[in-house]
């Protein structure tokens, strides 16, 4: 499990980190501790950091990332880690994401302990008063003034990480104002939910028992298709033959119409009537259209044409019979 704890100074990150270390068997990685260990071990990155620190400068992000890269490859970090004090800025978070991706790793969660700054200042004041009452020395960096500056720095540099990890759906916010035990239980519930979700999303192993019914159904379907395959092929072949015959018939009919139109045009040319190309094409189209219409109408169209001719003949006969006979006049 790989985690980051976010929260302002005094939120209780160190206390909760120790609880997580014991429960999950992971290591807590503090940038300060890692820097000192790298310098002591005289690693290439540690020597570089030593020179910068000796000159009074701030160790750059790439050096810190290099130290983290070396540290998480050690055997005790195989089960995971909690980063303490890093990242502090969005650029550091981006560099950390690139580092983990290059190693085929990813963060499991970023837990934010949200607290009330006013309450933190009151806690410091109470603690200082109790220490003075017991006669204990007070650390110079453990005062309300120093805490106020550290809180201001947190708001400016580190708090934007809340939005950064929230957009990547890695953030879990816990109420840090509760008791230590209650905060511990809230963090436990969040991490347990993450584990359950990871198990549910894990793909099934190939060849598992759950896949046997599927294999049986596929085998049955394959056997059935083998029995009925010849019949299906026969139906498909028959359907394809009908379609091909219909297509061939249509092509033959169109060729016949075009040939008829061409023959008609040649007759006109032989009689001395030159037929322009445009008119010939028009005639061909007209003839084709008429042939198509006649084909649709069928015998009904032929019957209608015959009826028309009979009606015309009858009209002529009626007209001849209806004429008045010429009267013969006797010449005088």
Which one from 114, 123, 150, 178 is the annotated catalytic residue?
A: 150
Per-residue pLDDT at 315: 53
3-class SS at 322? coil
Q: 196: domain CATH number?
A: 3.40.50.300
Per-residue pLDDT at 317: 47
pLDDT averaged per 10 residues, the chain (length 332)? 91 91 91 84 85 79 90 91 90 95 94 92 87 85 85 92 95 94 95 80 52 44 49 56 58 60 54 49 60 56 51 52 45 40
Per-residue pLDDT at 239: 63
Per-residue pLDDT at 56: 73
Residue 144 lies inside a defined structural domain of this protein = no
Asked if residue 93 lies in contact with residue 87, where contact means CB atoms within 8 angstroms, the answer is yes
User: E strands along 108-227, which residues?
Assistant: 109-114, 171-175
Per-residue pLDDT at 228: 46
From CA 58, how far away is CA 154, in angstroms rounded?
A: 17
Which one from 2, 13, 48, 71 is the annotated catalytic residue?
A: 13
From CA 267, how far away is CA 219, in angstroms rounded?
A: 71
Answer whether 0.95 is exceeded by the pTM. no
Residue 171 lies inside a defined structural domain of this protein = yes
Mark whether 13 is an active-site residue.
Answer: yes
Asked if residue 85 lies in contact with residue 30, where contact means CB atoms within 8 angstroms, the answer is yes
Per-residue pLDDT at 269: 44
Per the structure, the complete domain to which residue 12 belongs is given by: 2-26+79-116+158-200
Residue 133 lies inside a defined structural domain of this protein = no
Mark whether 205 is an active-site residue.
Answer: no
Mark whether 23 is an active-site residue.
Answer: no
Residue 15 lies inside a defined structural domain of this protein = yes
Asked if residue 18 lies in contact with residue 5, where contact means CB atoms within 8 angstroms, the answer is no
Residue 64 lies inside a defined structural domain of this protein = no
If one counts the domains in the chain, the total is: 1
Residue 262 lies inside a defined structural domain of this protein = no
Mark whether 150 is an active-site residue.
Answer: yes
Per-residue pLDDT at 16: 93
Residue 182 lies inside a defined structural domain of this protein = yes
Structure tokens at 125: 């004041």
7 C-beta neighbours (distance < 10 Å), count: 21
From CA 99, how far away is CA 108, in angstroms rounded?
A: 15
| Beta-bridge partners for 112 | 6, 173
Residue 210 lies inside a defined structural domain of this protein = no
Closest listed residue to residue 292, CA positions, set 258, 241, 247: 258
Which one from 23, 101, 139, 254 is the annotated catalytic residue?
A: 139
């Amino acid at each position: 499990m790989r985690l980051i704890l976010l929260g302002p100074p005094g939120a209780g990150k160190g206390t909760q980190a120790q609880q997580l270390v014991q429960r999950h068997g992971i290591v807590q990685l503090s940038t300060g501790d890692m820097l000192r260990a790298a310098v002591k071990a005289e690693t290439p990155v540690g020597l570089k950091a030593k020179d910068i620190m000796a000159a009074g400068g701030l160790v750059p992000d790439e050096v810190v990332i290099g130290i983290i890269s070396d540290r998480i490859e050690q055997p005790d970090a195989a089960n995971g880690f909690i980063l303490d004090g890093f990242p502090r800025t969005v650029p550091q978070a981006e560099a950390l994401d690139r580092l983990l991706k290059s190693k085929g790793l990813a963060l499991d969660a970023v837990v934010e302990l949200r607290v009330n700054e006013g309450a933190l200042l009151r806690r410091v004041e109470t603690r200082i008063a109790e220490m003075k009452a017991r006669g204990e020395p007070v650390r110079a960096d453990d005062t309300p003034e120093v805490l106020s500056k550290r809180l201001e720095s947190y708001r400016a540099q580190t708090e934007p990480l809340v939005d950064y990890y929230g957009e990547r759906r890695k953030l879990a916010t816990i109420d840090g104002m509760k008791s230590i035990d209650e905060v511990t239980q809230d963090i436990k519930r969040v991490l347990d939910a993450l584990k359950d979700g990871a198990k549910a999303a894990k793909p099934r192993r190939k060849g598992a028992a759950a896949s046997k019914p599927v294999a049986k159904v596929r085998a049955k379907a394959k056997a059935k298709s083998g029995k009925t395959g010849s019949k299906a092929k026969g139906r498909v072949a028959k359907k394809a033959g009908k379609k091909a015959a219909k297509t061939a018939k249509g092509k033959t009919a169109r060729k016949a119409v075009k040939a008829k139109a061409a023959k008609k045009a040649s007759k006109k040319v032989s009689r001395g009537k030159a037929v322009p190309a445009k008119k010939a094409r028009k005639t061909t189209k007209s003839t084709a259209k008429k042939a198509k219409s006649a084909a649709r109408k069928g015998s009904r169209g032929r019957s209608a044409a015959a009826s028309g001719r009979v009606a015309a003949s009858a009209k002529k006969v009626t007209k001849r019979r209806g004429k008045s006979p010429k009267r013969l006049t006797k010449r005088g």
